[in-house]
Amino acid sequence: MASTPITGAQGSNSGSGESQTFAFTALTALFFMWGFLTSLNDILIPHLKAVFDLSYTQASLIQFTFFSAYFIMSIPSGKIIEKIGYKSGIVVGLATAGLGALLFYPAAALPSYGVFLSALFILATGITILQVAANPYVTILGKPETASSRLNLSQAFNSLGTTLAPYFGGLLILSASAISVEKIASLTGAELQAYKAAEAASVQGPYLALGITLFVMALIFAFLKLPNVNESKEQGEKHSFADVLKISHLKFGVIGIFVYVGAEVSIGSYLVNFISLPEIAGLSESQATVFVSLYWGGAMIGRFLGSIAMSAIQESSKKLMYSLGIFAFAFGLGWFFTNDISRALIFVGFVLVNFGAFTFAKGMPGKTLGTLALGAATLAVITIFMSGMTAVWTIISVGLFNSIMFPTIFALGIKDLGKYTSKGSSLLIMAIVGGAIIPVAMGMMADTIGIQPAFFLPALCYLYIAFFGFKGSEVKSHL
């Protein structure tokens, strides 16, 4: 999922190298946790859609509520961090997210969709505070020249969380009380109400466990001795956010983050329902979740491939060796989730296509972004016109091409902003609200024209990102 890169100014830090390494190791657990919680929404959408007889538009309020927190709470979260510091901010964020997770228990007991959404907003608020606190902390916790490397490594753990969540969510939530569609249709009156109550209650155990885990993590961080860091202040406060948005490549970058997060989240949100369609794969919701895991796992694999392709490694033999290792990992991941060697090989085939796109772009950020965005748009369009497993593979393979988009758009958006980097970064963070808006728009399209043609919306988003990579990211103006 999207992580929040730091502003341009690097700060000083204190503490030994050993203490910084320990602190960084502890922080990676946070990246994993909020990736896990974010991706679990992809399981909540089909689950609560069935429990409350929701339309696609109504079900999309889950993502709307979650990602609205980024827009509404990012600035308040920043003010909280300014007052209490990074470490205390992490503790507050964990405790807030834990409270939101615990509130899923009464929401399921009622059951009430409105209470579910309220609990989700509180959980997302906690994650927003964590994002605002942990990302800067990781960046300034060590040498400035290795800041990008540390953040990319942390984001890899975020991707691991987004990969595992759908798998475990399918096991613990979707299959907890699932019965056949024919059996559900035969239920009437009290039997149907009892079934829906059982379905709603299936989220109680997993989210109760998550809530307890988050509170335990908050206690651990409260007592951890972490090194002090002091971020240097930037000058440039005289210009408003509206003024800074006049810088063309930043303005295009803000739109790029908006549509990227929106497209990525939209696809993940409706994958289970799409794959379950009789004309696509006809799988149960529980079975379909393994492909959601591959969608997010593809982003993790693509990130590893991208880090190699865009790294400073000059020796082609080393790059080839590392790449082969990633191909082997991709095969293992595909085999683990599908339990089918032929399907694992198909997944590796798409990884090879992704590798070809990275090779073609030759490590140039703008060209790499544009090339991968065109690839993602092409796969989304093909999905609209295909059926069966072909459509499944083309849409989940979009995840591979999503991999480096967020950090690359972000880096290109704040390029050469100098003293305006802080305001530019804040605007890019707020643009994550695209994950709230675009899934709702896609849900409305799905209710009107069907879920398969609705993939045209993410395809359009990727075409814009291609424009930004090839043209819109050029630095043309400053204040």
| Structural domain boundaries in the chain | 16-228, 238-474
- In this structure, of 171-180, 187-196, 331-340, 357-366, the range with the lowest mean pLDDT score is 171-180
Beta bridge partners of 438: none
Q: Which class is domain 238-474?
A: mainly alpha
- In this structure, of 57-66, 373-382, 420-429, 444-453, the range with the lowest mean pLDDT score is 420-429
Q: Does domain 16-228 have CATH number 1.20.1250.20?
A: yes
Contacts (Cβ under 8 Å, ≥6 apart) of 169: 40, 42, 43, 44, 206, 289
pLDDT surpassing 90 at residue 253: yes
pLDDT surpassing 70 at residue 235: no
Cα–Cα dist 416/250, whole Å: 10
Sign of the CA dihedral with 333 first, then 337, 340, and 342 last: negative
- In this structure, of 36-45, 138-147, 257-266, the range with the lowest mean pLDDT score is 138-147
Average pLDDT over residues 322-351: 95
Q: What is the pLDDT of residue 11?
A: 46
Average pLDDT over residues 363-368: 88
Cα–Cα dist 225/39, whole Å: 31
As given in the structure block, the two tokens for residue 378 are 């092409």
Chain-centroid distance, C-alpha 218: 22
pTM of the model: 0.83
Cα–Cα dist 295/200, whole Å: 26
pLDDT surpassing 50 at residue 180: no
Cα–Cα dist 249/77, whole Å: 26
pLDDT surpassing 70 at residue 399: yes
Percent of the chain with pLDDT over 90: 54
Q: Do domains 16-228 and 238-474 have the same CATH topology?
A: yes
- In this structure, of 159-173, 266-280, 406-420, 449-463, the range with the lowest mean pLDDT score is 406-420
pLDDT tens by residue, 284-311? 888 899 999 999 999 999 888 887 777 6
As given in the structure block, the two tokens for residue 460 are 């359009």
pLDDT surpassing 80 at residue 5: no
The SS3 assignment for 3 reads coil
Nearest in space to 238 (alpha carbons), one of 423, 17, 46, 16:
423
